[in-house]
Structure 1
Amino acid sequence: YARHLMPQIGQLHSDVWYCTAFGGHGLNTTAIGGKVIAEAILQESDRYELFKPFGLVWAGGLGGLSAAQLTYWKLQAQDWWREQSSA
């Protein structure tokens, strides 16, 4: 989880890439993140640069992780409530 609620995708060093912080929504989105990194390694695309403004941020230890989890539970509850209200 990241404070800005965006995935963290980028290059740390010349041979080290990262693709993390998908906030529990990693099944399909991490595959896309992997594709973005593969394209960058093969120099086919620089789409990973779109994630630079968000940066690689520290989640803040146990307190930060707890706050992130509570945020996602809140969003899930809001989704559930909307689904129930529209049914």
Structure 2
Amino acid sequence: MVDKSAIQEHAEVIGADGVHIGTVDHVDGDRIKLTKADSPQSEDGQGGKHHYLPLGLVAEIESDGVVRLSATAANAVELFEEAE
């Protein structure tokens, strides 16, 4: 497992396929909280919401700080947990 202290705020999160997924807001326990800015507007028109990804999906922290996941972007998005 990756050292979660190596994950920096505002780091880009990409899938195993290199596709942008989001930007780190901060690490919250065993999850990465993504910023609202990358979140699409919800169906209810309320705007973006924070999403969380499990730390277990992190494959590596690249030398430039980018967080690369073990899942493709499409698969990772399916695993999003929304903030309440």
TM-score relative to the length of structure 2: 0.24
In our comparison, the structure showing a higher alpha carbon Rg is 1
Q: Which has the higher helix share?
A: 1
TM-score relative to the length of structure 1: 0.23
Q: Which has the higher strand share?
A: 2
